[in-house]
């Protein structure tokens, strides 16, 4: 079945893209075509690892022989209308046939053929446990690795190993813009993708990319995890004495990450972030992007009214430009109790969200990274 390059999103026709895994697979196929059949392809068709049998045609940027008799091909990564930091980079594959006698790291498949897949320049190396790739190996995930192997089997020659090296010339340069440093993957990007497809304007891929952080925390033996919106929160936690390895970026996906913590049976979760983000939890909002819901000031004023803040001060709170200014105004008038109550409510709502299966703590920060309020449970654990 032919892959459909477009999808409708909110009435708009948007273009799908392909993953780094699909790009690496296409580059491998093009290089093997030239190596084994002396045929240079302008594009190649690869099968996608979806429930239905889809094929996608991927353009080849270049394909050429090297002095040692190997062949290299490049594909330009195309994220469609949902580009990320890897969009537009070159992903390369170098392939070569090697006699079994000259290769010491060979795994035979069921056809008594051998395929060896390795990472090269710009592919990160895994340094921490808990990921789908073992420590010390290049970060080429299992599904892309199987896609590459499936393509290579077609070109197998009895008595020879196919050596395949996947590399990304700009991988090390752009890796710091990804979650790889937080995951302990050093020196480059990862080759990823469970379907081969990048869906335009989809949050799913980003959400899924956050989850391996939880697996790493669990693999290190922690039963308490600190969830924070981003890297800044992790560094702030570290300044308070919490190991970076125990902290996880959750972005705006509080509810999603709480569910993933529930699946992994963590005992305790501390939600740690700015009041502007986490105050939404007190109103039962678990996707904190402003486009989804932005009732921060309404939640604040409601709690202030319940705590007998004078009406004139309530109007002042409403008229402030930012939530930070409103919080500061409350503090100046001695109503810190409002923030404390909101912290407690946020913790209670979060616990309710996952059926009270995990103990939840919440910490509010101001924009300078100072603690404004924290739920009572936090003092017991930290």
Return the exposure string of 123-161: e unless at least 16 CB atoms fall within 10 Å of the residue's CB, then b: bbbbebebbebeeeebbbbebbbebbbebbeebbeeebb
pLDDT tens readout for residues 204-244: 778 888 999 999 999 999 999 999 998 889 999 999 999 99
pLDDT greater at residue 112 or residue 203: 203
- Domains contained in the chain, CATH given: 6-198 (3.30.2110.10), 204-381 (3.40.1050)
CA 329, 333, 339, 341 dihedral sign is negative
Rounded alpha-carbon distances, angstroms, from residue 369 to 87, 154, 171: 33, 56, 32
Q: Is the whole model's pTM more than 0.85, yes or no? A: no
pLDDT in tens, 72-86: 999 999 988 877 889
Contact between 279 and 346 (Cβ < 8 Å): yes
- Give the CA angle between residues 115, 132, 124 to the nearest 5°: 75
Q: What is the pLDDT of residues 265-292, one digit of tens each?
A: 999 999 999 998 999 999 999 999 887 8
């Amino acid at each position: 079945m032919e892959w459909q390059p477009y999808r409708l999103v909110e009435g708009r026709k948007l273009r799908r893209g392909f993953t780094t895994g699909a790009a690496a697979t296409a580059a491998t196929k093009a290089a093997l075509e030239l190596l084994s059949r002396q045929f240079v392809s302008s594009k190649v068709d690869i099968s996608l690892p979806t429930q239905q049998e889809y094929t996608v045609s991927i353009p080849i940027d270049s394909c050429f022989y090297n002095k040692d008799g190997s062949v290299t091909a490049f594909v330009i990564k195309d994220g469609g209308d949902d580009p990320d930091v890897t969009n537009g980079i070159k992903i390369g594959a170098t392939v070569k046939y090697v006699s079994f006698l000259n290769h010491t790291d060979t795994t035979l498949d069921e056809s008594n053929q051998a395929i060896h897949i390795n990472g090269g320049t710009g592919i990160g190396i895994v340094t921490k446990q808990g990921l789908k790739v073992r420590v010390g190996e290049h970060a080429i995930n299992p599904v892309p690795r199987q896609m590459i192997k499936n393509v290579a089997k077609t070109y197998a020659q009895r008595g020879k190993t196919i050596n395949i090296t996947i590399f990304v010339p700009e991988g090390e340069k752009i890796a710091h813009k990804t979650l790889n440093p937080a995951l302990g993957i050093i020196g480059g990007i990862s080759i990823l993708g469970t379907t081969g497809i990048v869906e335009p304007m989809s949050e799913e891929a980003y959400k899924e990319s956050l989850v391996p952080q939880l697996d790493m925390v669990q693999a290190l033996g922690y039963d308490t995890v600190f969830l924070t919106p981003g890297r800044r929160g992790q560094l702030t936690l570290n300044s308070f004495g919490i190991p970076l390895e125990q902290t996880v970026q959750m972005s705006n996906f509080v509810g999603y990450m709480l569910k993933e913590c529930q699946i992994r049976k963590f005992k305790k979760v501390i939600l740690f972030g700015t009041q502007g983000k986490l105050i939404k939890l007190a109103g039962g909002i678990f996707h904190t992007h402003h486009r989804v819901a932005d009732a921060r000031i309404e939640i604040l004023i409601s709690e202030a009214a319940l705590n007998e803040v004078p009406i004139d001060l309530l109007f002042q709170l409403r008229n402030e430009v930012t939530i930070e200014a409103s919080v500061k105004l409350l503090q100046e008038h001695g109503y810190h109790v409002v923030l404390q109550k909101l912290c407690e409510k946020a913790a209670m709502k979060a616990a309710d969200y996952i059926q009270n299966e995990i103990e939840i703590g919440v910490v509010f920060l101001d924009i300078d990274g100072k603690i404004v309020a924290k739920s009572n449970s936090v003092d017991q654990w930290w």
